[in-house]
Structure 1
Amino acid sequence: MPVTPIKSESQYKDAISDQGLTAIQFVAPWEESCKAITPKFKAYAENPRWKDFKFYRVDICDQQDVAMTSGVEMAPTFHFYKNGAKVKEFVGSSYPALERTMGAVLAGH
């Protein structure tokens, strides 16, 4: 499944209210740590291990209102939702830590 770019606040609200698991990456495209982890997030989206997630990306420069609404203060930030409720947040560009966070969300922790 590809990573879907969020292009509006209404699209963001629809994405976070979806049933099931949702992973949202908030990025500043010019920031080096965002550039480093974005290909890994894309690889997760294409990996069958993470098939239960819907993957989205928000460019916080283009979608400042979405970033403010969601409380994002740094990039990269990842928010995880289950059935419309935020269940986890991860800030940073550590692949192993992001993968552990996703595994915890998948396991219901």
Structure 2
Amino acid sequence: MPITVIKSEDEYLRAIKESGITAVEFVAPWDESCKAISPKFQEYSDNPRWKDIHFYKLDICDQQDAAMTAHVDMAPTFHFYRDGAKIKEYVGSSYPALERTMGALVSGH
């Protein structure tokens, strides 16, 4: 499933209310850590293992209001929502840590 780029605060609010698990990657396009992990997040979105997750990306520089609504202070930050409620947050650029977080969510932990 491709990553959908969020282009407004309203789009962000609609995205997090989707049924099932929603993953939002908050990025700053100039940040080296974001540049490093973004391709991996894209790989995850294309991998059938994560077919139950809706993937989104939000540029915190372009969408400052949405980033403030989400209480994001740094990038990269990943928020995970289930049916509108935030269930997990991961801040950082470690592929294994992000994958473990997603695996735990998919398995119901």
TM class by shorter chain equals over 0.9
**Is residue 2:78 matched to residue 1:107?**
no
Distance 2:87 2:107 in 1: 12
Provide the residue aligned with 1:89 in structure 2: 89
Matched residue type, 1:72 = V
- With the length of structure 1 as denominator, give the TM-score of the two structures: 0.99
What SS does the aligned partner of 1:23 have? Answer: strand
- With the length of structure 2 as denominator, give the TM-score of the two structures: 0.99
Taking the TM superposition and a 5 Å limit, the aligned residue runs for 1:42-53 are: 42-53=42-53
Distance 1:101 1:24 in 2: 13
> What's the CA shift for 1:83?
1.3
Distance 1:104 1:72 in 2: 22
Distance 2:104 2:73 in 1: 23
**Unaligned regions of 5+ residues in structure 2, if any?**
none
Alignment deviations for residues 51-85 of structure 1 (CA, whole Å, 9 cap, x no partner): 00000000000000011000001100000011111
> What's the CA shift for 1:108?
1.5
Provide the residue aligned with 2:7 in structure 1: 7
Provide the residue aligned with 2:31 in structure 1: 31
What SS does the aligned partner of 1:61 have? Answer: coil
Matched residue type, 1:20 = G
Matched residue type, 2:12 = Y
Matched residue type, 2:50 = W
Measured on the aligned residues, the alpha-carbon RMSD in Å equals 0.5
Provide the residue aligned with 1:21 in structure 2: 21
Provide the residue aligned with 1:64 in structure 2: 64
Distance 1:69 1:84 in 2: 14
Q: How many residues align?
A: 109
**Unaligned regions of 5+ residues in structure 1, if any?**
none
What SS does the aligned partner of 2:22 have? Answer: strand
Matched residue type, 2:43 = A
Matched residue type, 2:85 = A
